[in-house]
Structure 1
């Protein structure tokens, strides 16, 4: 069986999170052939893989959102869109629901050969103008036109790329990856599986609301555009898999058919990580406590709230160190802002390790912290729990279900705090550091919970069953 994994902004260019999940899935299914359709923002990432590809990966198709710049501008004759096609593109621009079949037919009929030319054509101009008159006539037209061009360019650029033929298509998100999967299902008639770790549309919505480069009166249109992408993915998918019940409820409200949704929690190598619980912690001279965070240094992880909390902890417990373990090069501007905040707060004993072997750091921290404003079911949370470490995490994704337990009566293995509340976060850290018996009790509960519900082999076996079911259709 040949399975095409359609990864957007993750594997194999970025480590951790979804990328780690994809790599684990492939490594533990050597009976299948995998091909990767990788979508990344910039051409400069070409071939810059952060993983050694498993032997059962037969190929990687790389597609970059900025590579349209390299396409020659070919002057086409008038495109002659039908009324239905014009209406479809207008509804896409305005973020309204429409039948994606009409848009896919337009692509298949090769009416859009050169994306740049299409977006500068008189046909596109007329469609944009109709949308403008209908809903945005109070804004400058030139600004509206170039905003629409930016909105649609990546989508049309991706849709006109070749897609490898496979027996099953599996996208670890909706968004652009989900669109490619939907187009592949239509083109080849093969099943599509969507796995949502977080809710893609909610994550894009957060980014758009916080964006300073975008005019406020266009933000809702961008948000609705991404909701439209997700609706397409849900409509075409044969199975939608999520990691926990809260996400399932959100997917249903976003238009996904409840009958095709399954819940498969993430899984980690419990046997490997649990051995680390026996490793004796090493402390630097004059330091009594150590707090760790396994996280990518990017805005959605809200590292600044974590740093602000650490500063308050240092006032209460000066003998504490903080170790932030994870890549620092994914958003260099944000990393520099974090470094500046550390300097402004005159915060000592804080280390950014960069990309590192987490197993060499986990045993030496008393507890771990996660301050994200959006998550799915963090692998780092499960990995540190498997090592017997309590966690303090924001109330995002499945953190509350994992830490407090929704399917057992084992008890709490950490603390859940509100997002962006560095004061409550700092108080929770201080409380656990001062209470060693409580930390030990929570650590034991954490190990039991992972052992019972979040083992890697449980996750792998569940996906194997689904691949076999889909492949036999």
Structure 2
């Protein structure tokens, strides 16, 4: 038996979705091991369980990013002499393009020592200010210092705060992303020993890059700092990993391009209980039933889906769109979607179901949609195909390979991200060709049965856990 520490950011067990479902299935299928769960969350209000916790999860530790700190001026002054000696080292950490990852990690651990105070007391030290000012004058003097200072202050508050966390001791640390999860896992391995196994469902820095480029709250001149920072966290994580898992070959190559060592990389696809889904009996309803299994959040681009559906609607008859999944994760975005439904006069045609048993909807849906602007290997596609339901999906993540590039044939239609006109045309093409729905549904079942079984997914991780656990015991 191994003790495994799963580290996740803003997901399990507090958010329903593909990554969380993947974690739940992984833990339940490895009853011979004990699991600790470390959840990196924005605040304690976020910590509301959405899953029944398996018995072999023996600990859940919440790590809160948005903390409030009291500052002791005495402690700040007391540490001034110590930090004067560290000014040159602190400056090295500010360069997120550095290739000296082990040296950078050593410096972060050194300056984050709790004996120097809490994260804010450390950052308010004059030596941190001097290092930042020197780095600014050398590299960024053409942009405003005030925003530059607060950018780096926010970044290092999180870095130091996470470095001061005491993670559970484990034989294997298993983050399900790089970013903060990977960073804190690398520090835990260095502090406690053990192995580090990373599973990336998407490529974390690329997803953050897309968000940052579109973010209105980050000034244009500072977006590159944030993007470089997230790529830096990925490289730091890769550097400490014993094994690096991706869900498909394309992402594996991206990992290698971003600094992962090829010999440590391996592909393990997602897997589902094919028998359970394939046995669902289709009960055709009157009319045309279109569905999407999703969280109502911006990355799923629900607004694009609604616009595409609106474009298709004049050529459809007796058609409903079911948006199947939780709506509470981003209430502001959900309300924007509701407003768009009203503006498009779709109140009688679009149904937000909230969190439900999706299998009840798989029984009658004719086609399924996925309009995300970023994905890994969506479980919703695998589930839908196993039920014999073809997909229209945006060209993100592994969607094209699943739906269009298997030797069994095509199981759906791929459209460009954000293109609601292409989505509308694809919906109409399915509505006008019921035989295509049937043919693609048969192909989809064959694809899932051959490539994406739960057994292969679970057996692959059992082998990894055994291998890395034994390595730990031999140390």
Q: Normalising by structure 2, what TM-score? A: 0.94
Counterpart-to-counterpart distance in 1, 2:185 and 2:81: 28
Give deviations 1:117-153, integer Å, cap 9, x for gaps.
1122212111111121111212222222122112221
3-state DSSP of counterpart to 1:293: strand
State the Cα distance separating 1:103 from its structure 2 match: 2.7
Give deviations 1:40-84, integer Å, cap 9, x for gaps.
1122123x1111110000010111111x21x33233213445689
Residue aligning to 2:389: 389
Counterpart-to-counterpart distance in 2, 1:241 and 1:84: 40
Counterpart-to-counterpart distance in 1, 2:320 and 2:217: 37
Identify the match of residue 235 of structure 1 among 225, 233, 239: 239
Counterpart-to-counterpart distance in 1, 2:410 and 2:82: 60
Ranges in structure 2 where 5+ consecutive residues have no aligned partner: none
1:186 to 2:185 alignment: no
Counterpart-to-counterpart distance in 1, 2:184 and 2:85: 22
State the Cα distance separating 1:256 from its structure 2 match: 0.8
Cα RMSD (Å): 1.6
Residue aligning to 2:355: 355
Instruction: Answer with 291-300 or 337-346: which moved more.
Output: 337-346
Counterpart-to-counterpart distance in 1, 2:89 and 2:361: 53
Residue aligning to 1:462: 460
State the Cα distance separating 1:38 from its structure 2 match: 0.8
Ranges in structure 1 where 5+ consecutive residues have no aligned partner: none
The structure-2 alpha-carbon separation of the partners of 1:263 and 1:379, relative to structure 1 and needing over 3 Å to count, comes to same
3-state DSSP of counterpart to 1:472: helix
Contact map agreement 1:107 1:159 (CA 8 A) in 2: no
Residue aligning to 2:227: 223
Residue aligning to 1:280: 283
The structure-2 alpha-carbon separation of the partners of 1:84 and 1:450, relative to structure 1 and needing over 3 Å to count, comes to farther
3-state DSSP of counterpart to 2:11: coil
Residue aligning to 1:210: 214
Identify the match of residue 414 of structure 2 among 403, 410, 416: 416
3-state DSSP of counterpart to 2:392: strand
1:326 to 2:329 alignment: no
Contact map agreement 2:18 2:378 (CA 8 A) in 1: yes
Contact map agreement 1:95 1:228 (CA 8 A) in 2: yes
Alignment coverage as a number of residue pairs: 463
The structure-2 alpha-carbon separation of the partners of 1:334 and 1:108, relative to structure 1 and needing over 3 Å to count, comes to closer
Residue aligning to 1:309: 308
1:367 to 2:367 alignment: yes
Counterpart-to-counterpart distance in 1, 2:256 and 2:362: 37
The structure-2 alpha-carbon separation of the partners of 1:465 and 1:85, relative to structure 1 and needing over 3 Å to count, comes to farther
Give deviations 1:102-129, integer Å, cap 9, x for gaps.
2344157446431111122212111111
Residues 35-114 of structure 1: pairs in structure 2 closer than 5 A: 35-46=36-47, 48-66=48-66, 68-69=67-68, 71-75=69-73, 76=75, 77-80=78-81, 85-97=86-98, 98-99=100-101, 100-106=104-110, 109-110=113-114, 112-114=116-118
State the Cα distance separating 1:189 from its structure 2 match: 1.8
Counterpart-to-counterpart distance in 1, 2:49 and 2:88: 41
The structure-2 alpha-carbon separation of the partners of 1:107 and 1:457, relative to structure 1 and needing over 3 Å to count, comes to farther
Give deviations 1:267-290, integer Å, cap 9, x for gaps.
0111111111x231334xxxx101
3-state DSSP of counterpart to 2:168: coil
Residue aligning to 2:24: 23
Counterpart-to-counterpart distance in 2, 1:447 and 1:245: 22
Counterpart-to-counterpart distance in 1, 2:182 and 2:85: 24
3-state DSSP of counterpart to 2:310: helix
Identify the match of residue 163 of structure 1 among 142, 167, 190: 167
Contact map agreement 1:302 1:372 (CA 8 A) in 2: yes
The structure-2 alpha-carbon separation of the partners of 1:362 and 1:82, relative to structure 1 and needing over 3 Å to count, comes to same
Contact map agreement 1:74 1:114 (CA 8 A) in 2: no
The structure-2 alpha-carbon separation of the partners of 1:341 and 1:55, relative to structure 1 and needing over 3 Å to count, comes to same
Contact map agreement 1:374 1:397 (CA 8 A) in 2: yes
Q: Normalising by structure 1, what TM-score? A: 0.95
Residues 327-346 of structure 1: pairs in structure 2 closer than 5 A: 327-346=326-345
1:249 to 2:243 alignment: no
State the Cα distance separating 1:401 from its structure 2 match: 0.9
3-state DSSP of counterpart to 1:240: strand
List structure 1 segments (4+ residues) > 6 angstroms apart after TM superposition.
none
Contact map agreement 1:85 1:106 (CA 8 A) in 2: no
Contact map agreement 1:78 1:123 (CA 8 A) in 2: no
3-state DSSP of counterpart to 1:161: coil
